[in-house]
Structure 1
Amino acid sequence: MAARRTPIAASGGALAGLGAAELAVPVVRACVEDASRATGSSGPVGDVVLGNCMGPGGNLARVAALGAGLGYAVPGMTVDRQCGSGLAAIISAAEAIRAGDTRLRVAGGVESCSTAPTRAIDGVVYRRAPFTPAGHPDPDMVRAAQDLAVHDGISRDQQDSYAARSHRLALRAQESGEYDAELVPLNGFTTDTNPRRRLPAMLKRFPVLFPDGGTLTAGNSCRDSDGAAAVAIVAQGMRGSAPGLAVRATVTVGCDPALPGLGAAVAVRNLLARNGISLADIAAIEIVEAFAAQTLASLTRLGLADGDDIDDRVCAGGGALALGHPWGASAAVIVVRLFTRLVRAGAPAGTLGLATAAVGGGLGVAALFEVVR
């Protein structure tokens, strides 16, 4: 019934002075207020569920619920499915309502890459926990994206072209005011800071991240960023006549951890097969664009990309390559984007939207939404 996000800013940038909970609080509060106005009800909030990957630890969702003024009775739960966390939180909240607890829930994700703590074991600093146990492939996502580019023969030109598309579409959406209704102003900022007008012309100047034939660059990869995004979910009977997005089907799958970028394609295929629908039935598609290479690999397998020809339904307002990638929030950002593209844009009842993300360690998550009016 409501979908909001903060502006997204690069790590160390406009939002660097805010911790994860401080990013989440205004978004949680805005979702509750929007849902109350939409439904005409200010009934109890059953839970706040937020995804987070690299934060300070503890239960950030509980901290955000209290900070948003929801009261001591609202518990809060923080989930970690890496960069699928935001969508995993939304799925978890929807499942709780479907199971019979019909109280409103706020769900999404948050990440402050700027304030992510340094982690160490026995004095040895490490950047991330293992995605897999010993004896299994465990590439970081940058290495995995490069490996996938080699595996699929995705050229640098193709990756640069896709990155340029993301920035071009994000700037167009920004200038047209498409983002305005979904944004919660924060720290004096009212707009995303990452989309860059000059980037397409600069892409060929970026050095490769891996020598000896590498094709990934900082230009065709996402920027680690700060931000939060969430939605408010109610039971069908509480909706009244207000428009919204119904959660129709969800799936979470595993895939080869050596090529985790394929998780989105595996999840979408599984979702479509289970529900007897095809991509032709879907009007809007959002995928977490962590890297151009992994995005193109999944889109190509789904028939949504052929070289530089990208289906117009995919990330039509730009994606993470332009907006940035606040890890735990990004898979919730794409649901907020679907809400704007479909509900706020006036799409008729029954229109379908799809959100999907590939996840480190070899996972994929996808969810099917339907416009209700």
Structure 2
Amino acid sequence: MSGGAGGAVAEAPVIVAARRTPIGTAQRSLAALTAPDLAAAVIADLAADLAAAPPERGVPGIGEVVLGNCTGPGGDVARVAALQAGLPDTVPGLTVDRQCASGLAAVVLAVAVLRSEPGVVLAGGVESASTAPWRFWPPADGGAPTRYERAPFAPATVGDPDMGPAADLLARDSDVSRRCQDEYAARSHARAAATQRAGGFDAEIVPVGGVARDERPRAGLSVDRLARLRPAFGPGGTVTAGNACGVNDGAALVTVVDAETHRRLGVPGLRVLATATAGVDPNRPGLGIVPAARLALDRAGLGLDQVDVVEFNEAFAGQVLACCAGLGLDPARVCPEGGALALGHPWGASGAVLAVRLFTQLVRRPGGRHGLAAIAAGGGQGVAMVVEACR
């Protein structure tokens, strides 16, 4: 790497803290908590870290809170959560929506802001599927109102499949068998259950509502047991409730600072080497990981063989396996401590959960130097980030 490039890297924003709530199954352990409730708990925890920094280090106050959210109550969830967390009313909040990639998109936005405006930004995402409001189309011709199921991911003329059927099509196109999907899902649960037993998630979790552990991981979930489940999206499909993610509640945020603030803090962190956002065919939205990851790695000047920890959002096992095939990546390298198939997929938060997971594996208990996080979104989009541990 040239001296100029090295200097640019040294001035890149740094993630200095990363936390999340436990991830709960919708209508279960976190069902009574709203999106602001979940996010505020993590914001308050990260703000307390900053407040504990010695005054002589001159760490600036929080300049902004940026949150991703998909199906929440509407309005500016980030602003509500920031105020609920006790931040001064001078701290603005911004809520962004890039569907399932919203949480990582919020982190990308924070990084972009800090490249030009020094300071501190709390960024991440939140989803409370349990408390998301129901909406209805007005009645037609005096009839009953129609339940509004979801916003469009893309125009119907282009193709706007639901994520489950789209995952079935992607698995078929990529020749990913049902057994391979079940094997991948069983491994994700086994890894997450083992990590949970060993306390590997404990340091990153902020207890909320009396809950301190992820609800979904299941030890001993065998391939044979998964094989008994029926296709979830029609006869002949290969996606089931067992090799797909759940519907979940949770929040995750990171503290991002500019390079000079990081030097004053004097703490380890993750330097953000590169980020990328890409688009793909909306009919195969799960493939968004592939071009986003490639572009982020290219911008970072790294190959996949130089990445120590890979965190992809495991929306569907078949989707992850198709993306791995597209990238020439061994699927066993993805989510080494279990991913969304086991932990859950709180839509607006999931991209930020990936950042938290990288922080734990590369900073809290150092296990390498470089990390890659990537997530796909409805409508055919992908977001990726490449980081480097700095100590």
TM score, norm. by length of structure 2: 0.91
Segment of structure 1 superposing worse, 13-22 or 231-240: 231-240
The ranges of structure 1 where at least 4 consecutive aligned residues each deviate by more than 3 angstroms after the TM superposition are: 35-42
**Corresponding residue of 2:3:** none
**Corresponding residue of 1:93:** 110
Query: How do 1:1-373 residues align onto structure 2 when only pairs under 5 Å count?
Result: 1-37=16-52, 43-99=60-116, 101-122=117-138, 123-200=145-222, 202-239=225-262, 240=264, 241-305=266-330, 310-312=331-333, 314-347=334-367, 351-373=369-391
Specify the code of the residue in structure 2 equivalent to 1:68.
A
SS at structure 1 position matched to 2:251: strand
Task: Give the gaps of 5 or more residues in structure 2.
Answer: 1-15, 139-144
Separation in 1, partners of 2:183, 2:49 = 38
TM score, norm. by length of structure 1: 0.95
Contact 2:274 / 2:297 at 8 angstroms: preserved in 1? no
C-alpha displacement at 1:12, in angstroms? 0.7
Separation in 2, partners of 1:131, 1:170 = 31
C-alpha displacement at 1:38, in angstroms? 5.9
Separation in 1, partners of 2:51, 2:367 = 22
| Matched length | 365
Specify the code of the residue in structure 1 equivalent to 2:358.
L
Segment of structure 1 superposing worse, 192-201 or 63-72: 192-201
Separation in 2, partners of 1:260, 1:38 = 42
**Corresponding residue of 2:13:** none
SS at structure 2 position matched to 1:317: coil
Specify the code of the residue in structure 1 equivalent to 2:64.
D
C-alpha displacement at 1:34, in angstroms? 2.4
Separation in 2, partners of 1:37, 1:176 = 29
Specify the code of the residue in structure 2 equivalent to 1:140.
D
Residues 1:36 and 1:343: Cα distance change in structure 2 (over 3 Å):
farther
Contact 1:199 / 1:219 at 8 angstroms: preserved in 2? no
C-alpha displacement at 1:41, in angstroms? 5.3
Separation in 2, partners of 1:127, 1:251 = 30
C-alpha displacement at 1:276, in angstroms? 2.9
What do residues 205-260 of structure 1 show as CA deviations (whole Å, max 9, x unaligned)?
21111333111100000001000000001111111321001111111010011101
Separation in 2, partners of 1:178, 1:273 = 31
Separation in 2, partners of 1:347, 1:147 = 36
Specify the code of the residue in structure 2 equivalent to 1:149.
A
Task: Give the gaps of 5 or more residues in structure 1.
Answer: none
Contact 1:183 / 1:190 at 8 angstroms: preserved in 2? yes
Segment of structure 1 superposing worse, 355-364 or 123-132: 123-132
RMSD between aligned residues: 1.4
What percentage of residue pairs aligned between the two structures are identical?
Answer: 51
Contact 1:356 / 1:366 at 8 angstroms: preserved in 2? yes
Return the index of the structure with the highest Cα Rg.
2
Contact 1:171 / 1:197 at 8 angstroms: preserved in 2? yes
